[in-house]
Chains A and B, each alone.
Chain A
Amino acid sequence: MSVLEVRNLQTHFFTDAGVVKAVDGVDFALNEGEVLGLVGESGSGKSVTGFSILRLVDPPGRVVGGQILFRGQDLAQLPASEMRRLRGNKIAMIFQDPMMTLNPVLRIDTQMIEAVRAHDKVSAKAARDRAISALSKVGIPSPAERLDAYPHQFSGGMRQRVAIAIALLNGPDLIVADEPTTALDVTIQSQILAEVQDLARDTGTALIWITHDLAVVAGLADRVAVMYAGRIVETGQTDDVLTTPGHPYSVGLLGSIPGHGQRGERLTQIPGMAPNMAHLPPGCAFAPRCFNADERCRTDAPGIEDMERVRQLRCHHPLTKAGGTP
């Protein structure tokens, strides 16, 4: 059963320079316990997609169209008070920079207990016990004592664990994780990835993992969706997309990972710059940077096409022929 179904989501930013269509028609669905990797460059709209689901887009941004069906209920239409009741309760979020997400002047226990008591009218003692068990679940040693500490007394990795513990407090059905390991060093990153994977598996929590790091996605996600200029350009089983990318942009992303070529060789990179979101080209947004583009790509935006298995592509000239590799 699908926990979340996003249909034609549109989030636009109304700036002085014009309307920026940060998310422009995104569709995807997520089943219970499933992990979706949402991949793309900076500015591709992946984070905005995550914030749109929680209705936490900052002005001048706004969800202007589409449906966000969470267990059949359209979040885009929900009154603010009911949305607040879902946030942190059924839908939780983990942010990118653990140094910034915890309030520096409030103790960890204050910040955890308020998250419990915002949704459950339990005693402070019961909320505290729940906080302790959440902290021990994410691998924080002597959690009862650490509760009395302030955020600055934790390292970056530990703070992110605290943030993850807060996300887990109320046993959510869905966690949106916005590049939660980007700001951490590699060893901590892999520890946290392993822990999150276990937790999601144990509790049946669905996970949207937003990242620009394909290596992270490879180890974690069941499915991957590649975003470019506010749209999903390719989606499919993680293995399929990573081994036989169908969209030239996915190919470019994979090629940019260091380690493929010989030592001393220049890294391959996608030519050009990420497009100016206020002035997108009329055709395919990726056409100006694409090695495979022709006249049609420049005038005519490709629609999304279903391929074999759960694969979908938005390209006039997909690199894997219909069906791809089985």
Chain B
Amino acid sequence: MLVYLLRRIAQSIFVALAMMVIVFFGIYMIGNPVDILISPDATPREIEETMARFGFDQPIYIQFLTFVGNALQGDLGRSFVHGESAVTLILHYMPATLELAALGLIFSVLIGIPLGVYAGYKADRWQGRAIMTGSIFGFSLPNFWVGMLLILIFAVELRWLPSTGRGDTVDVFGIRLSIFSENGLQYMILPALTLALYKASLVTRLARAGTQEALVQDYVKFARAKGVSETRILFVHVLKNIMIPILTVLGLELGSMIAFAVVTETVFAWPGMGKLLIDSILTLDRPVIVAYLMMTVLIFIVINLVVDIVYTILDPRVRVTGGAG
């Protein structure tokens, strides 16, 4: 198990390095940030001075090596616009996005799995078909539209929930989180639901397909022959078998929820990383974009690693023999 983990971590480091190359050179291609940073009527001398200050006059490979050297020390540069360290800036906005994604994930599991298992159980009945038809809406309705519709229904018409903003936050180990305060949670429900809708449809479909497949297996028939109740068959025998594909997809989707919550954050004026990214792209704030992308890669890597570890808990056959498995 330890060897397996070490190997996985080594792979992850390689992925991070590869990503560094792609991100750096990709951003380099976009354009020269100096054009935006200084006034158009600056003299060539001023331009050259600014270029020298940011190190843009160096050959690209020197710039890259400097970047890698700094990155290894946790320094991804200073924001041209905010003057703050890019990493600090992102870390400042990250908790809001993370907690939103986490709640979205919880919603999509709580909604998707029961619906999907039930739809698989009643696959040929109207209940199953109705759930499947419903999930098509979850797939096809655009995110911003769903968000606005939710605001219209729950905030404007029913006045049950607040529409935009973040609400109260509490400090948890120095991080401002709103998920633990009642008022803050109310602000999170609508954006989290918006984020969750697509994933919930995805989980529903996966759970349904898995359930249908599992229900015809001999072990289900054998469980019935033992006199085990249908509820236990569905939510113990079947569920544990279908969790593996669902978990894989959810792991990847969690990454994309964190990284691309941009639209939802905009609709609900949620002060997260997504909004920061949009602003930084508009001002070509290179260090922030690079730092954002690197953080996203890191998040994906960590999530994948966690998913792999959770696999071994769910499926005993994956457990690597010889170790503590």
**Which residues of A have CB within 8 Å of B219?**
100-104
Q: Is the CB of B226 within 8 A of A115?
A: yes
The verdict on A106 contacting chain B, using a C-beta distance below 8 Å, is yes
Q: Min CB distance, B266 to chain A, in Å?
A: 42
A-contact 0/1 string along B212-235, CB 8 Å cutoff: 000011110111111111001000
Within A95-125, the residues touching B (CB, 8 Å) are 95, 97, 100-107, 110-111, 114-115, 118-119
Q: Min CB distance, A171 to chain B, in Å?
A: 13
The verdict on A30 contacting chain B, using a C-beta distance below 8 Å, is no
Bound: A100/B222 CA distance, A: 9
A93's contact among B225, B241, B314, by CB below 8 Å, is which? B225
**Which residues of B have CB within 8 Å of A118?**
226-229, 232
B316's contact among A56, A97, A152, by CB below 8 Å, is which? A152
B-contact 0/1 string along A114-149, CB 8 Å cutoff: 110011000000000000000000000000000000
A-contact 0/1 string along B292-325, CB 8 Å cutoff: 0000000000000000000000111100000000
Within A139-167, the residues touching B (CB, 8 Å) are 150, 152, 163, 166
Q: Min CB distance, A126 to chain B, in Å?
A: 17
Bound: A133/B315 CA distance, A: 28
Bound: A84/B217 CA distance, A: 19
Q: Is the CB of A84 within 8 A of B241?
A: no
Chain B, interface size: which category?
20 to 34
Q: Min CB distance, A169 to chain B, in Å?
A: 8
Do most interface residues of chain B lie in helix, strand or loop, or is the interface mixed?
helix
Within A53-68, the residues touching B (CB, 8 Å) are 54, 56, 58
B224's contact among A87, A106, A111, A166, by CB below 8 Å, is which? A87
Q: Min CB distance, B231 to chain A, in Å?
A: 11
**Which residues of B have CB within 8 Å of A101?**
218-219, 221-222
**Which residues of A have CB within 8 Å of B222?**
93, 95, 101-102, 163
Q: Is the CB of A88 within 8 A of B226?
A: yes
Q: Is the CB of B236 within 8 A of A106?
A: yes
Beyond A105-B316, A152-B316, whether A100 also contacts B217 by CB under 8 A is yes
**Which residues of B have CB within 8 Å of A93?**
222, 225
The verdict on A260 contacting chain B, using a C-beta distance below 8 Å, is no
Bound: A106/B236 CA distance, A: 9
Residue of A nearest to B217 (CB): A100
Residue of A nearest to B222 (CB): A101
**Which residues of B have CB within 8 Å of A152?**
316-317
Residue of B nearest to A84 (CB): B227
**Which residues of B have CB within 8 Å of A224?**
none
Bound: A119/B225 CA distance, A: 12
Residue of B nearest to A59 (CB): B124
Within A78-98, the residues touching B (CB, 8 Å) are 84-89, 92-93, 95, 97
**Which residues of B have CB within 8 Å of A56?**
221, 224-225
Q: Min CB distance, B246 to chain A, in Å?
A: 13
Bound: A107/B226 CA distance, A: 16
Q: Is the CB of B237 within 8 A of A106?
A: yes
Q: Min CB distance, A145 to chain B, in Å?
A: 16
**Which residues of B have CB within 8 Å of A102?**
219, 222
Q: Is the CB of A85 within 8 A of B217?
A: no
Residue of A nearest to B238 (CB): A103
Bound: A105/B237 CA distance, A: 8
Q: Is the CB of B314 within 8 A of A105?
A: yes
Q: Min CB distance, B315 to chain A, in Å?
A: 6
Bound: A90/B216 CA distance, A: 24
**Which residues of A have CB within 8 Å of B227?**
84-89, 115, 118-119
The verdict on B129 contacting chain A, using a C-beta distance below 8 Å, is no
Beyond A95-B218, A152-B316, A152-B317, whether A103 also contacts B225 by CB under 8 A is no
The verdict on B240 contacting chain A, using a C-beta distance below 8 Å, is yes
Bound: A150/B219 CA distance, A: 14
**Which residues of B have CB within 8 Å of A105?**
240-241, 314-316
What are 5 A-B residue pairs whose CB atoms fall within 8 Å in the complex? A87-B226, A103-B240, A104-B316, A115-B226, A119-B227
Interface contacts beyond A87-B224, A100-B219: sample of 11 additional A-B pairs, CB < 8 Å, sorted by A: A84-B229, A86-B227, A95-B218, A95-B221, A95-B225, A97-B218, A102-B219, A105-B241, A114-B223, A118-B228, A119-B227
4 closest residue pairs by CB, A with B? A88-B227, A88-B226, A100-B218, A87-B227
